[in-house]
Each structure stands twice: as C-alpha cells, then as structure tokens.
Amino acid sequence: MKITEKLWLGKLTTPLPDRHRPVYNWFTMKESFSRELVLLLAETWGLDEGDLVLDPFCGTGTTPLACRELELDCIGYDVHPILLLAARVKLRDYDAGKLKENIEAFLKNRFEGQKVEAPGFIARVFPSAVIEEIASIRRKILELEDEAIREFMLLGLAIAAMRCSWAHKDGAAIKVVKRPIPPLLQELGRQLRRMCSDIKKLRMKGSKVKVEFCDARKMNLTDGSVDAVITSPPYLGKKEYLSAYRIEQWVAGIEGPNPSDLIGGSEGGDFSQLVDLVGNKPRETWGYFKDLFEVIKEIQRVCKKGANICLVVSDGCLPGGPVDVCQTLSGLAEKAGLRAKSLVIVNKRYCTTPSRKKLGITKEGLLIWTK
Ligand SMILES: C[S@@+](CC[C@H](N)C(=O)[O-])C[C@H]1O[C@@H](n2cnc3c(N)ncnc32)[C@H](O)[C@@H]1O
C-alpha cells in the first residue's frame, strides 16, 4: 500500500468548508466531512450519471446530498435517529411555495406553554418557560399531517431551540453557559424561513438518492450492486454519539440510538480471524475492529468488481497512547478480499493525556481501496 502525505486536504475532512453552504449547514456534526471531498473523489474516479454510491455511515447526509448535486444515485445508512431525520429533511424535494404557506400559517398559532416533566439535563440548559414552550410547539408540529412538512419543522425547532438554550458544545462535552437568550418563537420563524429560502439555492438533480435506518454490519443491498463507497466510520474510542445530540433529541421528541447498534459495541465473540492484526492492540479496541471488519466484508460483498472505496478515518488515542487504525483497517480490507491501494495522510495530531503530556502522533487519512 502506497502511503503519501497531503496535509492540504485536511480541511476537506471537516465540515468547515460547508459552514455557509445552504442546506448542508442546517444540522452538522463536527465529525462530518465536506461536500468538496465527495466532489473531488467523484471526479478522480470518473463517476457518472446513474452510478450508485454507498455511504454506510451517512450521518447528516453529506455524501447523499453531494451525489444529488452530481446526478449520482446514492444510498446512505445510519442508526442514529436524529441524524437520519436531518439527512432526510435535507434531501427531500419540496414545493417551496406550499412549504412557505404552511410555515407562515403555523407561526400564527398561539402556543400556550405546556407543563411537562423534563429530564435533569434539559432543566439545566433551558429556563422552565422555554421548556413549556418547546413542548407546546412540538405538540402542534406532531399534529401536522404532511410528513415532509412535519419533519422539516421538527428539525427547524431542534436547531432553533439550541440557540435559545444555555448549552455550549465544547468538543464532545456540553457545558452550561448562562447568557441572555432570544425568544424561541422568533428564532423558530427565522430558522424555518431561512431553511425555506435555502431550498431554492441548492440545485438538486433528479437522481435516486435515499437514506434509511440500517446497521452497516448488515446492509440491505444485493451483491455487486455498488459503484463506489465514500464514507467515514465512527472513530475509535469515541462514545459521544450516545449523548452528543440528547438535547436536540428531546426537543424533537426522538429516541437516541441503541448502544448495541453503534460500531464498537461488540464485547464478546470470536476474534480469532483478527488476531494477527489486532492481537497486539489493547483489548478494549478489539470490539471496534471486529465490528468494522463486519462492515468491510459487507462493502466487499455489495461492491461491483472495480469499484472504488474511500474511508476517512483517524488513528485512536487511548490512555496508553496512539492506536494505529489507518493501516489496521487496510489490513482488514485485504483480508476481506479488497485491494488496499493507498493511504493519504491528511492530518497529524498529538495524542496527549488529559494533562497534555504527549504520548505520540495520530494520523487522519483517506483509505483508498478497490474491489
Ligand atoms: C463520522 S460519522 C459520519 C458523518 C457523515 N460523513 C457526515 O458527513 O455527516 C459516523 C456515523 O456512523 C454512524 N454509525 C455508528 N454505528 C453505525 C452502524 N452500526 N451502522 C450505521 N451507521 C453507524 C453514527 O451514527 C455516525 O452518524
């Protein structure tokens, strides 16, 4: 496998290039990559209209959204309900006029605060009057018959409510920072109107693109059906998917992900197939590699011969020091029958202890494989 360093590509593996891009920026995760990365790979590989791209970890839908712009077919999977909601809302075709009328009619409602039992973490980040207002607005949204309009408004409410909270996201942690907050209904109106006008700014083409709930370890796809894979699996040792969006989940009335659905959840089982590649690594990483080996075998199964595959991954940083993920996953890909062509290193960071003692270097890279 060829190893190269292209640190100028590092920005493309973050959501930063899309922070002002309509629709893409409605609901982002700090782990998202950019539209530009998808465009670059599609061009490099010569993907064409009608080709099917797979993103088995689609999160908030960057790959499917970029594919729609490029007129490529795409299927995105994830197991995180609020992220799937965000991806669905971003990808839908809307009648902008009808949507606008519905939004304006909705905002004319009178929202009497509704008494609710809120969990402790919600009571810490919202004043009680805002909690009651959220509950009342959410109830009215859930009464809307049209699923597209209902989900659009729920996402808008989740985004607007965060701006009316004392929650401050600092990496994976949610801190409480008391500050003056704007009126919720005003923020909701602003958010929904902005989303509505964004729709007209993104040129969506008529390709077949969908996202659905599916565990990447067992995909709903037939053998040899996929032309390319562009994805980024969860990073080793990161458990934040369980809690990072719990405020938005409560606001939208949506369940969190099931812990055993998330990659890295496998505890026991047979690790004998992996022992040569992961045997010398800390025991707590084995479940992660075992789960990803299942995903890689599925990628091998569903890809056409000659398909190109790109995974954005990062080495892990555990209390004992860095854990090589980039080369290990490429070894697993070879074991599954794929060809690991190259590793393009796009970022290098120090792995440190909480007291900032340097333990070594971790790399983030693009793993380029073919079938
Ligand atoms: C690094 S993020 C992907 C971000 C995405 N590329 C974007 O631009 O928004 C990894 C995603 O994997 C999802 N995930 C974790 N375990 C999964 C599984 N077993 N099957 C499918 N998706 C899973 C997480 O919910 C998360 O959305």
Tell me the per-residue pLDDT of 188-208, one tens digit each, with 9 for 90 and over.
999 999 999 999 888 777 779
**Tokens for 43?**
């061009």
CA distances from 143 to 150, 289, 339 (A): 8, 44, 51
What is the separation of C-alpha 54 from the centre of its chain, rounded to a whole number of angstroms?
Answer: 14
CA distances from 151 to 65, 248, 254, 308, 325 (A): 17, 13, 11, 34, 37
Residue 255 lies in a domain: no
Question: 162 in a domain, yes or no?
Answer: yes
Domain end residue (candidates: 157, 186, 201): 201
**Average pLDDT taken over every residue of the chain:** 93
Structure-model confidence comparison of residues 167 and 266, the more confident one: 167
Instruction: State whether 193 and 301 are in the same domain.
Output: no
Compute how many other C-beta atoms are within 10 angstroms of the C-beta atom of residue 164: 22
pLDDT given for residue 268 in this prediction: 67
The string of pLDDT tens digits covering residues 107-122 is: 999 888 778 889 999 9
Verify that 334 and 188 share a domain, yes or no.
no
Stretch 260-285: mean pLDDT, rounded? 82
Highest mean pLDDT of the ranges 71-80, 109-118, 241-250, 272-281: 71-80
Domain identity same for 335 and 211: yes
Report the separation in Å between the CA atom of 369 and the middle of ligand 1, taken as the mean of its atom positions.
Answer: 19
DSSP code of 281?
S
345 CA distance to ligand 1 middle (Å) = 21
Residue whose CA is at the smallest distance from ligand 1 atom 27: 59
Residue 217 beta carbon below 6 angstroms from any ligand 1 atom: yes
Domain identity same for 215 and 168: no
* CA-CA-CA-CA torsion sign (348, 234, 326, 231): negative
Residue 110 lies in domain: 96-201
pLDDT over 90 for what percent of the chain?
A: 81
How far apart, in whole angstroms, are the C-alpha atoms of residue 269 and residue 291?
11
Sorting pLDDT into bands at 50, 70 and 90, what band is 65? very high
Please give the residue that has the higher pLDDT: either 36 or 173: 36
What token pair was written down for 271?
């690790």
Higher local confidence (pLDDT), 316 or 205: 316
- Distance, CA of 342 to CA of 355 (rounded, Å): 35
Q: Which of 27, 37, 79 to mutate to test the pocket of ligand 1 (most atoms within 8 A of CB)?
A: 79
Find tokens 């670059």 and name the residue: 40
- pLDDT confidence of residue 293: 95
Query: How far are the Cα atoms of 32, 63, 133, 150 from residue 52, in angstroms, in the given order?
Result: 21, 12, 43, 29
Q: pLDDT at residue 241 above 80?
A: no
Residue pair 156/141 in contact (Cβ under 8 Å)? The answer is: no
The CATH number covering residue 280 comes to 3.40.50.150
Q: What is the dihedral of CA 269, 273, 275, 276, to 10 degrees?
A: -170
User: How far apart are the C-alpha atoms of 41 and 336, rounded to whole Å?
Assistant: 23
For residues 169-205, b (16+ Cβ closer than 10 Å) or e, as one string? eeeeebeeeeeeeeebeebbbebbeebbebbeeeebe
> Are 35 and 111 contained in the same domain?
no
**What is the rounded CA–CA span in Å between residue 265 and residue 360?**
26
Confidence band of 136 (pLDDT split at 50, 70, 90):
very high
Ligand 1 pocket check for 62: Cβ under 6 Å: yes
Q: Is residue 90 part of a domain?
A: no
Residue 128 confidence (pLDDT) above 90: yes
146 pLDDT more than 90: yes
285 phi, psi to nearest 5 deg? -95, -10
State the pLDDT at residue 266.
67
pLDDT attached to residue 331: 96
Residues 221 and 365 in one domain: yes
The whole-number pLDDT of residue 183 equals: 95
The token duo for 290 is: 């075992």
Mark whether 29 and 12 lie in a shared domain. Answer: yes
Of 201, 222, 248, which residue is a domain's last? 201
DSSP assignment of 216-237: TTS-S--TT-EEEEEE-PPPTT
Q: Which residue has the higher pLDDT, 170 or 179?
A: 179
Question: Average of pLDDT values for 148-156?
Answer: 97
Into how many domains does the chain fold? 2
User: Is any atom of ligand 1 closer than 6 Å to the C-beta of 232?
Assistant: yes
Which residue in 262, 257, 220, 217 sits closest to 84, CA to CA?
257
Residue 84 has pLDDT above 70, yes or no: yes
Q: Are residues 338 and 223 in the same domain?
A: yes
Q: Which atom of ligand 1 sits closest to the CA of residue 263? A: 16
Between the CA of 60 and the centroid of ligand 1 the distance, in Å, is: 9
Statement to judge: residues 222 and 364 lie in one domain: yes
pLDDT attached to residue 78: 97
pLDDT of the residue at 173: 80
pLDDT band, very low/low/confident/very high, at 153 (cuts 50, 70, 90): very high
Question: Residue 270 pLDDT more than 80?
Answer: no
Residue to substitute in 263, 295, 329 for testing ligand 1 pocket (most ligand atoms within 8 angstroms of CB): 263
- Residue 259, in any domain of the structure: no
Select from 78, 89, 292, 312 the residue to mutate for testing ligand 1; criterion: most ligand atoms less than 8 Å from CB.
78
Whether residue 227 is found in the same domain as residue 334: yes
pLDDT category, 214, cuts 50, 70, 90? Answer: very high
Q: What are phi and psi of 147, to 5 degrees?
A: -60, -40
- For tokens 């083409």, the residue is 205
322 and 225 in a common domain? yes
User: Coil, strand, or helix at residue 88?
Assistant: helix
- How is residue 252 annotated by DSSP? H
Pocket of ligand 1 contains residue 79 by CB under 6 Å: yes
Residue 277 pLDDT exceeds 80: yes
168 strand-pairing partners: 175
Closest C-alpha to 279, from 328, 231, 225: 328
With respect to residue 157, please indicate whether it lies within any of the assigned structural domains.
Answer: yes
In-domain check, residue 248: no
Q: Is the pLDDT of residue 99 over 90?
A: yes
Distance 55 CA to ligand 1 centre (A): 9
Task: Tell me: do 61 and 156 sit in the same domain.
Answer: no
User: Is 240 within the bounds of a domain?
Assistant: no
Closest ligand 1 atom to residue 257 Cα is: 25
Does the C-beta of 26 come closer than 6 Å to ligand 1? no
- Residue 6 belongs to some domain of the structure: yes
